[in-house]
Amino acid sequence: MRKKLVVGNWKMNMTRAQAKAAVESLVQLVDPKTEVEVAICPPFLSIESVVTVFSGTPFQVGAQDVFWMPSGAFTGCVSTSMLADAGCELCIVGHSETRGRFGKLEVPATTVAYFAESDETVNLKIKALLAQSIRPILCVGETLEERNEGRTDEVIAAQLKGAFVGITAADYKAGVVAYEPVWAIGTGKTCDNAEANRVCGFIREQLRAILDASTADSIRILYGGSVKPSNAKDLFAQPEIDGGLVGGASLDPKDFSEVIQGA
């Protein structure tokens, strides 16, 4: 049986002091003997603060993104060795926001090209993370337009195929995949439980073909998209959903602890 995993993605929120206070509260609210695996992905500058508080607990720290080159003239980028040195055990890759695919656009439309993630760069990042023994959390998902056109499965299949070029089952056995319908991120909308479960099951079927059946059946597939205390238990009860990648609700320790409890 796959162990539930709940990951908080803080996005561009929290100063170091706020991050420290939030995880100190979380540690008090969540039983360290919980059977749920818990991780927080704070902004780069707060990783050290969270690692320090989580020291001696079973809770883990991840990053929200990474660059694939080990070093060089790449201003503003962070390498996998830097993440490992900071204490990161996981890293999100291919999030819709880094792909420039927003459920709720909060920047001028003319600037969306700034977010230029592609299936090729996702693939390069996954390979770099695996080489450093950092577990990737690969995000896939469709926009509202793609869903309305009936292209959900087609889009996700293409994202998975592109992400796993040159990656074997043995490479990705500890990796994670997260289904995040773009239209449900930051909008307050949540995918229907049955449909979220269906898509996560479709992802697993694709992984069986791309990797192998045994590995696909062991990989945890998370749901992300307006997960909150009120819907977490029902979402996580679905047989193909192995936990959540949680955005807004992870910023409040009480809300996040209730989401964890729901798992």
Cα separation, 103 vs 122, in Å, equals 20
Cα separation, 171 vs 184, in Å, equals 30
Contact 224, 192 (CB under 8 A): no
Among candidates 234, 205, 235, 232, which has minimal Cα distance to 219? 205
Radius of gyration of the chain (CA): 17
Distances (CA, A) of 81 to 66, 86, 122, 126, 164: 10, 9, 17, 13, 21
- Active-site residue set: 95, 180
* Residue 133 backbone class (left: φ over 0; alpha: ψ -120 to 50; beta: rest): left
Residue appearing with tokens 């959900």: 152
Cα separation, 32 vs 239, in Å, equals 25
